[in-house]
């Protein structure tokens, strides 16, 4: 809508619709900002710390800049130039970077598999689908394509391999991403904290149909997962 000066201004309802769409996006099955797993919770915290930390320092620097612009030249600053240079130019960045490094290393370490898992699943990437191989308590093996089932609160280790090129396993709502590299088996720990259906996606360009290399993840209550497992291995009701 154009105002009296001919400038185009978005209507309030348009802005409200855009804001609503953005918030709905946070609730999508692919949202890393609405985490449903321990790894994703740690990653979401790193995101918020980085965003609000950056906003805080931007506001601080803007305040200094405004003070410098509008300060009367006759008004004394009260702080020596040397202190400003050493404090603001050396000490402050050093303290912030060291704090971020310690926080980042601690958070990164928490994403690694620690302690023995409750469940192990073999994940094999192909151009362009995912193969999930389970071992039932009776030792029977079975596989699913583009469909991953996980029990709530369990520590699940995914051993990720590939049959062809490099792919990358990623369920944004549940945890971090990990590459599938030819000749290697990489282990990603997931620990779901909420039941529901989530989306997974290959996060490494792996050929013409890469964008279609998606899969569904279903997180069940532990008893429901055991019942599902029994039906898959032919021991169900």
**Residues in touch with Cu ion (CB under 5 A):** 167, 202, 206, 213
Considering beta carbons, is residue 150 or 206 the nearer one to Cu ion?
Answer: 206
| CB of 120 vs Cu ion, minimal distance in Å | 22
| CB of 102 vs Cu ion, minimal distance in Å | 34
Considering beta carbons, is residue 167 or 189 the nearer one to Cu ion?
Answer: 167
Considering beta carbons, is residue 167 or 220 the nearer one to Cu ion?
Answer: 167
As a three-state string, the secondary structure of the chain is CECCCCCECCCHHHHHHHHHHHHHHHCCCCCCCCCCEHHHHHHHHHHHHHHHHHHHHHHHHHHHHHHHHHCCCCCCCCCCHHHHHHHHHHHHHHHHHHHHHHHHHHHHHHCCCCCCCCEEEEEEEECCEEEEEEECCCCCEEEEECEEEEECCCCEEEEEEECCCCEEECCCCCCCCEEECCCCCEEEEECECCCEEEEEECCCCCCCCHHHCEEEEEEECHHHHHHHHHHHCCCCC
Considering beta carbons, is residue 141 or 163 the nearer one to Cu ion?
Answer: 163
| CB of 51 vs Cu ion, minimal distance in Å | 29
| CB of 203 vs Cu ion, minimal distance in Å | 8
């Amino acid at each position: 809508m154009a105002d009296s000066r001919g400038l185009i201004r978005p209507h309030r309802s348009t802005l409200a619709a855009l804001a609503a769409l953005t918030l709905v996006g946070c609730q999508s099955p692919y949202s890393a900002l609405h985490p449903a797993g321990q790894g994703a919770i740690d990653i979401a915290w790193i995101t918020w710390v980085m965003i609000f930390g950056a906003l805080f320092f931007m506001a601080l620097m803007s305040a200094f800049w405004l003070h410098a612009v509008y300060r009367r030249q006759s008004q004394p600053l009260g702080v020596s130039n040397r202190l400003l240079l050493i404090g603001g130019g050396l000490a402050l960045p050093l303290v912030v970077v060291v704090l971020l490094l310690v926080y980042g290393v601690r958070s990164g370490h928490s994403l690694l598999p620690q302690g023995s898992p409750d469940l192990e699943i073999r994940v094999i990437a192909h151009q362009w689908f995912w193969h999930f191989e389970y071992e039932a308590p009776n030792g029977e093996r079975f596989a699913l394509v583009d469909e991953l089932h996980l029990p709530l609160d369990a520590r699940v280790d995914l051993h990720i391999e590939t049959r062809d090129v490099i792919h990358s396993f990623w369920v944004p709502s549940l945890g971090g991403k990990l590459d599938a590299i030819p000749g290697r088996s990489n282990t990603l720990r997931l620990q779901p904290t909420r039941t529901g259906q989530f989306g997974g996606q290959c996060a490494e360009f792996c050929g013409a149909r890469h964008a279609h290399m998606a899969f569904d993840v279903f997180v069940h209550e532990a008893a429901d997962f055991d019942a599902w497992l029994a039906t898959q291995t032919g021991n169900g009701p």
